[in-house]
Each structure stands twice: as C-alpha cells, then as structure tokens.
Structure 1
Amino acid sequence: MDKDNVSSNAEKTSADKSSDDFEGNHAGDSHKDYKGNSDTSSSSKPPTPPPPYNQVNENDFEERATLLQKEKIPDDVLAPSTLNCNFDSFVEIEQSEKDLMQHGESYSKGIDEDSKKVERQRLIYKVSQRPPFYLLLFFGLQQCLVVLPSSVKVTMLVSEVMCARDEEEFKVQLMSMSLLMSGICTFLQNSIGFRLPVYQGPIAMYILPLLAVLDLPQYACPDRGSFYNRTMGNSTVGDYGEENITYFQAVVVPKFLKMSGALILAGFLHMLVGLTGTVGFVLRFIGPITVIPTILLIGINVFTVVYRFCSTHWGVSLLTTSIAILLSMYLDRYNLPIPLWSRDKGFHIFRYPLHQVFSVLIAGGVGWAISAILTKVGVFSDDPKSPEFYARTDSRTAVIGKTPWLVFPYPGMHGTPGFDVSVFAAFITATITSIIDSIADYYAVARVARVPSPPVHAMNRGILTEGFMSMMAGLWGASHATTTFGGNIGIIALTKVASRNVFQLLGVMLVILALLGKATSVLVTIPYPVVGGLQVVGFGFFIGLVFGNLQYIDMNSTRNLAIIGISILWGLIIPYWSKLKGDEVFNTGNPDADNLLRMLTRNPNFAGFLIAVILDNTVPGTLKERGMTVWQAADQEDEEQSNNLEEGREVYDIPALSKFLRKYRITSYIPFLPTYSPKNSKKSN
C-alpha cells in the first residue's frame, strides 16, 4: 500500500511539475506578456523577429482566437462584412502581439502552433485592394493630416538656412513648392515607382548639413540693421552690387539659387543610381555600421536651430512637446472610445488609438491655442525686436491677406539656379544617406504590407523616382529632396490598411493643398515655440531611429563597437579642429577649393561617414557580423517569411506596362523595369 502511495505521489508530483513547466513556458510567454507584465530583463540580446504568420481559414481563425482573448469572439465581429468597423478585438490582439514580440526568443519556443495562427491579424485592405470611396477619403485625409507637421518643420528649417526668418511671403512659396513636390512624388512612387504604399516627404537630412555651411563667414546671415546701414542709410553699394537693394534680394535669393542648382545636380546623381541599377553595388560597401554614425552626427547641429524656435517662449515649447510625448508614448496602450451611430448597430462605442495617430497634430493645435490666449491677454511682447514677438499668433497674420487664393509655383520664379561646390558637397552626403534610409524603409513597408521582400527592379525604380523628383524639387525651388517616411509605415501597421490607393489619393490631396495659397499661408503663421516643440519630438525621434540599425549588427563584436565609436569621435573632432583654425585651416590658392575643404571638414556627418566607410570595409569582419546580410538579401525569401505573406511579387509589377515589356527580351537587362532579371545580367557579364 505504501509503495502504491509513493508511486502515486511521485506520478502526481511529476505531473504537477510538468504542468508547472507548461504554465511557465506557455502562460508565462503568452498570457503574462499579453497583460503587459513580461520580464524583458532575462536576456541581453535584442528581440528576435516574431514567428511566421500562417494563413488559416476564417473558422479556424475564430476558434484559435480564444487562446488570447479567453472568450469566444462573436461571429459578427469576424464576419468579412463587419471587419472594417469592429476594431476592439483587432487592437486587443495587436497589443498582445506587441508585448509578445518584446519577450524575445522564448516566444518562438514556448508558444504552440495553434497560437501562431492568431499571432498576427490579417490586413483589412491589402496593397492591391481598393477601399470604398468614403473610407478611401477618410484614410487619405488621416495620412494627410499626419504628414503636414513635417512639411511645416522642414520649411521653417529651410528659411533659417536661407536667412529668411522674416520673409513670410517667401515662406508661403517654399511651403507650396514643398507640398507640390511631395504630392507629385508620392503619387508617382505608388503608381509607377516602388509600387508599395509609401509617402515621399520633405527630408531634413538635406538641410541639416547646411548648418555647417553657415559657420563659414561668406554664408553667415548678416544682421538686418547693419545691412541697411551699409546699403541704404549710407547710400553705398557695399558688397551687394546695387544701391537700395533689399535684404531679400541681396541675401536670401542668392542662397536660394545656389541651393537649387546644387540640389538639381545631387538629384541627378541620385536618379542615376536607380537608372543604372547600382543600388546593389552601393550596398556592398555601405551598411548599418556606416549609417549609424552618419545619421547620428547629422543631428549634432540641429539643436542650434531647435533652440532658436524654442527660446521664443520655453513654456509653450515644453507644453507642446509634453502633450506630444504623453499622447504618443505614455498613452500608446490605450484606445480612445469614440461614440458612433450606424444603421445596423445604432449607437455604439468604437475604440481606436486616435490620440496616438494624431498626437503631433493635437499637440500643435493645443500649443497654437495656448499661444493665442497668451497673445490676447498681453503676455508676449509686441516689440518686433524681442524674441517673444515670434510667439505671438498675430505677428505674421498679414501674410494671409497678401497671399492669393491660388498659387502656381513654377521653375525660375526667382531667377536661374546657381551652383555652389560647398552646398553640393553637403547634398551629396545627404543623398547617400537618403538612399540607404529609403532602402531600409522599403524592407519595412514590405514586412508591414505582408508582401515579399522588394525585388531589385522595384528598389531601382523607387530610387530613380526619388532622384528624379529631387532634381525637379531643385528646379522648382523647393530646396530639399524627398524620401520615404517611416512614420506613415507605422500608421499602416496600426490601421491594417495597406492599400496603395490611399497614398495615391494622399498625393492628389497634397497637390491641391499646395495650390491653395491661403491654406499654406495659415500654416506659415504657426507660432515659433510651437514649431520648436514639434521639432524636439520629430528630430528626437529621428535621432532615436538611428539606433534601430543596431539590431542588424553583432553587438558582441568589439570590431563593430570600436568602428562606431571611433567614427563618432572623429566626426566631432575634425569639425572642431576646422572651426578652431578658422579661415586659415586651408590655403590652396583657390578660393572655391578652400571653401569646399572647409565645408567638408566642418560637416560632422561627412567626417563620420568617411571614417566609418573606410574602417568598415578594411577591418576584417564577416558579412553577418557587419549586418550586411540584411541589406543584401533583396531577392531571397525563406519558407518562414513566405508563410507570412498575403500577396505575391505581382504587387511590384506595373500591369499595363509589364504585359508589353515581356514581349521583348532586351527589357530583362534594364535594371529598373519590372521584367528585369539579375540572372540574365550576370550571364551577359
């Protein structure tokens, strides 16, 4: 009897232990993380990608969903007809996915095959699907409202570089041209370019390097008072060539024309990379280790410009920043209850993270409203020479009345584009970084849209479109290039709407907005402390994204850490040495060569890029260790990735053009056409 009891107790103990192990591996990895209480400190390794998504039928999907929700989901929620309206379960499971991904490797080991089937939700609208018109309009408007703050920030930054802080009418033209180029490029990129849902917007990466140019005496912004004393008060011609010439004509327009000409040439070289199919060649030498210090050092000089905006009133700036951080980060796990009424359901509550999607827009609106109140009660100074004057909401409202209802930007509005070697050198560095950044976004949007990794011809065509529109931006006078925006990719992941038609409509909306002069003039009158607060969030997020590239490299490698650290350090030392020496740092006898060398040595991101690319390609290291395998695996698709797809490579084709091109074999050798075959090109070589 005792033996039987001992045996029975042993079996029971073993079963309990097995049950505990099961609960520790399964419940601890799924249910615990689902509640947001996972312990991420157990592993020092970066989180691994989630396991593949397996296609299942709707009935099977409904049964397995109970594993995460612990209750049966009503049939009407999962029915295709109501899939667009019922987001409660979608957001709940999506949140569980976010927490599970943070747990790392234990997720893929501990979760069973049944849970994998509901690990990711299907897209509501795939890339090639067209939503109903009323939903299409809503989705397009949502994306449009999200991208407007970035256009405002870049326009303000461009005006600072051009010494055009007080030229309000010129800012309206810059804003209009910026929106016009962004809209056209977005439409072309989604129609005949990369063909996945991406937004092409103004890129501060082209403007930030120019802050180093402002350190050169000939590019510094002269004081307006001293300028008028020389040219008008004393009735002397001075250094500007004409008597009684305005500050705008003498200072702003020459800078504008030099930037336009340099951008045209930089855009042409950008386009040439996609036209000749040299994207793969560039990726052989430039990888994450090069990108990290380069982009990080771009932000070194940005604090000076952000300070100029925030210093007009620190209270409003801090309030704007705090609201944006609160809505986008502290409340990112909450869904806003929105009351709705429909004929089928009547009055009901619809939960959606609206506060997170429009966090920047809401923060800007609140900051603007607070500035209006403080202006009305007389808190801000009305002296134009006081910094607080730019915090007033009525300091620049006159430009709204002066701006016509319709604005038609055209090339050569202010003269023939010029050229400057120093500016061109700054743009070239930004061009290389922009290409790498766009390629990384191409991979990201492919994962979010559940389509295969982008083929070579699609990436070449995307880079070609970007370069062509950058060249057009220089010709029109936008003074900045365009690139893909990661923020809009995040919205796709959040809303599960990956239709390219949404972004085509977004492009049309931006073009219409660019032509409405009154609308763009209102955006220009945003108080400076509000712009500064938004720039803190935007540029802070931009700099933080740089560290995302660390996931591709081996962080345990002393080689990688040393190259990144040395590149950043030299990127700071070389500009400091050049500024310390002043104009005497170079004396070749050629003023243009001296300016070029001074500009390059005072540009932190160029110095960091040069050191990083040399060390990364000369110090021994494997491709996997350097993170190059991720950048170079464009056409490789493993079995696990293919299980997560909802559409095939046909999404990258141009239907009307592809049928015609397949008739001619020569098109398989042209790197940007949909019929391009890298294998044929290798055979011909």
Structure 2
Amino acid sequence: MNNARYPVSVSVFDFHGRPPLSRALPLSLQHILAMIMGTITVPIIVSGAIGASTAETLLLIQISLVASALSTLIQLFGVWRFGARLPTIFGVGFAYVPTLTAVGAQYGLGGILGAQLIGGMAMLLVGFGIRPLRHLFPPVVAGVVVLVIGLSLYDIAIHYMAGGKGSADYGGGRQWLVALVTLAVVLAISQFGRGFIKLAAIICGIVVGYALALALGMVDFTAVHQAAWFSAPRPLPVTLEFAPVAILSMVIICVVNSVQTIGDLSATTIGGMNRELGHRELSGGLLGNGLCTLVGALFAALPTASFSQNVGIVAMTKVISRSVLALAALFLLAAGLMPKFGALMTTIPYPVLGGATITVFGMITMTGIQLLTRDELSGRNMTIASLALALGLGLAAAPQAIAALPDTIEMAIGGSPVVAAALTAVLLNLLLPHKSLADEQAERERLAARMEASDTAPASVPASSRCDSQ
C-alpha cells in the first residue's frame, strides 16, 4: 500500500495523528484522572443504595472500568455503524445515578440490569432513527443540555475540593489547601506555560497536588494492598429482573441521555475541531453507546454515557488525537482487569481531583453557551433555554417538590437536572411556533404600524351628538 497518499501525522491536534508515547502518555493521563473517580464513584453510590456486599461492590467497580474502556475504543475506532469516530471518552456516567439509585432501592441490582437491557434497546432505536429525529435537537436544545451538564457538575467539584461528601474531614483546612494549590498550578501552567507543558496543565496540577497530599498524610494505600492482581469479568453474574416501572424509568433516562450524547458530541466537534457534528458521527455515537449499555447489562456494567469533563479537556487543549484517548482507554482496561492498578488510581485524594477538574467543568458550561449562540437568540429560543434551565435546575434543587407524584415520574426526573431540562427543551421546541429574529422584527413593525394608524385615525362622532345637532 502506498503510504505516501496517507502520510502519518505525529500531531496531537490531528485526529489520526500518532504522537510519540512520551508526548501522548501525559496527555492521556489527564483524561484518565478526569474521569476515573467518576467511573468508580457511580458503582459505589449504587452499591450503597442496593445494600450490596463488598464482593458485589468490587465487581461493579471492575466491570465499570472495563465497560468504559471498551465503549471508548468503539467510539474512537468504530465497528461497522457503531461508534462516532471522534475524540471522545465514554464511560459509566453520573447522569443515570438518580434513576439507578431509585430503581435499585426498590428492585435491587437485578432490576437495574434488566431495565438497563431494555433501555439499551431504546438507545439503539434512537441511533438508527436519528436522521428524521435530528430536527428535535437543534443547537438551542443541545446547548441547553450541555449547559445544564456543566452547571450540575459544579457541586461535585466543590464536594471533591472539600474532601468528598461524607468524609470525616469534610471542609477541613488541609482539604482546601490541597485543592487550591492544585487549582493554582493548573491555572498558572495553562495561562503562563508554553508549548507542550501548557497542554499538560491538568496532569501537572494533579502531580503537585498528589505530592502535597502525600506529604500531609492524606493518601491511603490500603486498597492497593488488598486488591487482587487479575480478575476477568464473567457474563450474567446477577439474575436479571424486568419490572415494568423500572423499565419505563430506565427507558426515559436512556433516551434523554441520547440528548446529552448529542450535546457532548456537538461540543467535541465545535470546541475541539471547529466544525459542526456530522450525521454519520452522531448516529454512530448513539448506536455505540446503546450497544455498550445493552451488552454491559449482561456483565453487570452500569449504563454508559459521554463524559462531559473529557469533552471540556478536548475543548480546552484542542488535543484530538485518537491515539491519546486510546491510551486512556487501554489504561482503563488494565485497571479493570488488574484491580491493583485501579486501586492505585483511586488513591488520588478528592481535593486533588476537585482542584484539577473544576476549570474543566467551567469549560463545559462555556461550551454549552457557545452551542446556544450558534442559533439566533430569538424570543422563542430564549424562552426554550430559560424555561428549560429554570425547571431543570429548580427541580434538582428542590426534589421534594415532586415527591407526591407517581414513582415513575419521580424516578425519571427527580434530582436529575439534565433529564428535566432536556425534556422541557425538546417539548418546547416542538410546541412553540418557529419564529426567527427577522420574523419577530417584522411582527413588531406590523404592530407598530397598526398602533400608529389607530392613533392618527379621525375620532368618530357619538350618535347622541349627531341627534342633538339635528
């Protein structure tokens, strides 16, 4: 084969670029460290909700890492129609947590996985049929979803900076010292660094923060000593159960998560590649996510989603080489197959991760705003965005407001701002009449003309006055 026609790039700013390992490795570590705690935290939260044993908790953590690695590789390289073939990271996501905990508390892990199997099928249907449905997700809808994702991550970052919600030393001086030092290093290098070191600002901040935490005695290696060296996933470790209420709730969140995927993929191409998202990329991304969610249920892997924090890294650094992100996926796979490796990654204290990622979460928010402004901010679009934000964030802040509603509704939207905002934005986009800025200006001009004509018209003479004059 003539390679002259297909020159091999070594640039980290080229999707097909193959940079040397010395350059790719630290950039891939940024992606690993930005999402590994999230990937591990979700199964821990779910395990607590269902009262899982230690063995079940370790199983969920292990298979979550493996599922995240495989779903990312599918998105990077593609298999037939599955995979976006974009610089994106997928894994077990926080967007599902409210639904997973609600379903798990009532139906257990088997109920979660059975409902997830059907939810994955629903995601595949959305992926196959996205072409006629894409008009439902214009920039105003996708932008609102990405914006709410960014805003909803802030409390996670702050809890991390304070030491992790529920920790014994939550909000202590040591926690904030480590978090703020980490943040200061990230800001200093990203703003004043030059060349390659500037691109590795996040990993540099984590290294400095980790060293400080180690010196302060905040790093615990107990999990590393206790973890096994190798463990392979096995099919159907849990008997699946199919409860109608759980299935309906999971289908809703899986379909709504497709909107989040659309937003994240759009943010990736716009923020990292300076172009719009293609139809083939969109369909492949949705199908790949649906396939991983469906198959993952058979191995006790929780549902996967696009990782918005990694989208933020791509948008901030413009590093889009899939080799860099593939290295991150291989690390996750190793962590899943070798529990000691995964346990070592979890020794990074929460304040270090919070200080390093809060700027990334801010970038996600700004990417959502950027998406919104790609569509004209007509009165119609501003109504969609403002109401979706108000309902989404408002219901998340006051989940008790819907506690008296049917369990299915509460499971679907309770505590999940992304779900509520996405549903509101999609429905309003369907129901409100389409009016551009030009249409609204023309309507105002017509109204002004009618008002002016009414004001200048001669006053009519009352009938009684006419009679008196006669």
Give the TM-score range, shorter chain. 0.7 to 0.9
Residue 283 (structure 1) aligns with: 134
Aligned 1:403-552 pairs, distance under 5 A: 403-416=227-240, 420-421=246-247, 423-424=249-250, 427-428=253-254, 430-441=256-267, 443-444=269-270, 447=273, 455-483=278-306, 485-487=310-312, 489-490=314-315, 493-494=318-319, 499-534=321-356, 536-552=358-374
Conserved 8 A contact 2:116-2:303:
yes
Name the count of aligned residue pairs. Answer: 416
Change over 3 Å in CA distance of 1:364–1:259 after alignment to 2: farther
Per-residue CA deviations over 1:244-282 (Å, capped at 9, x if unaligned) read: xxxxxxx9xx644333333332222222233x3x22222
Aligned 1:649-664 pairs, distance under 5 A: none
Conserved 8 A contact 2:84-2:288:
no
Per-residue CA deviations over 1:453-495 (Å, capped at 9, x if unaligned) read: 665334323322222122223332232303264245347735x
Residue 457 (structure 2) aligns with: none
Distance 1:168 1:531 in 2: 25
Residue 655 (structure 1) aligns with: none
SS of alignment partner, residue 90 of structure 2: strand
SS of alignment partner, residue 525 of structure 1: coil
SS of alignment partner, residue 482 of structure 1: strand
Which structure's CA Rg is the greater one? 1
Q: Which has the higher contact order (CA 8 A, sep 6+)?
A: 2
Distance 2:177 2:417 in 1: 31
Q: Is 1:271 equivalent to 2:102 in the alignment?
A: no
Distance 1:490 1:302 in 2: 18
Choose the corresponding residue for 1:607, options 420, 441, 459: 420
Change over 3 Å in CA distance of 1:204–1:317 after alignment to 2: farther
SS of alignment partner, residue 325 of structure 1: helix
Per-residue CA deviations over 1:282-328 (Å, capped at 9, x if unaligned) read: 22112232234445445558737953715634334433443443344
Aligned 1:340-355 pairs, distance under 5 A: 352-354=195-197
Residue 322 (structure 1) aligns with: 180
Per-residue CA deviations over 1:592-627 (Å, capped at 9, x if unaligned) read: xx310233453443333333222223323347999x
Residue 468 (structure 2) aligns with: none
Normalising to structure 1: TM-score of the pair?
Answer: 0.52
The AA in structure 1 aligned to 2:266 is A
Aligned 1:371-390 pairs, distance under 5 A: 371-375=213-217
Identity, in percent, stands at 18
Q: Is 1:370 equivalent to 2:255 in the alignment?
A: no
Distance 1:209 1:559 in 2: 31
* Residue 177 (structure 1) shift: 2.1
Aligned 1:617-628 pairs, distance under 5 A: 617-622=430-435
Distance 1:462 1:476 in 2: 21
SS of alignment partner, residue 113 of structure 2: helix
Q: Is 1:202 equivalent to 2:15 in the alignment?
A: no
Q: Is 1:191 equivalent to 2:77 in the alignment?
A: yes
The AA in structure 2 aligned to 1:400 is V
Distance 1:622 1:168 in 2: 56
Choose the corresponding residue for 2:48, options 151, 157, 163: 163
Distance 2:370 2:59 in 1: 36
Residue 361 (structure 1) aligns with: 203
Residue ranges of structure 2 left out of the alignment (5+ in a row):
1-6, 440-470
Conserved 8 A contact 1:262-1:421:
yes
Residue 219 (structure 2) aligns with: 393
Distance 1:426 1:447 in 2: 31
Per-residue CA deviations over 1:318-341 (Å, capped at 9, x if unaligned) read: 3344344334444424335xxxxx
Q: CA RMSD in A?
A: 4.1
Residue ranges of structure 1 left out of the alignment (5+ in a row):
1-79, 85-122, 220-250, 337-351, 376-391, 587-593, 627-685
Conserved 8 A contact 2:84-2:284:
no
Distance 2:359 2:400 in 1: 29
SS of alignment partner, residue 164 of structure 2: helix
The structure with the largest helix share of the pair is 2
Distance 1:320 1:580 in 2: 37
Distance 1:606 1:280 in 2: 22
Choose the corresponding residue for 1:148, options 4, 25, 32: 32
Change over 3 Å in CA distance of 1:407–1:430 after alignment to 2: farther
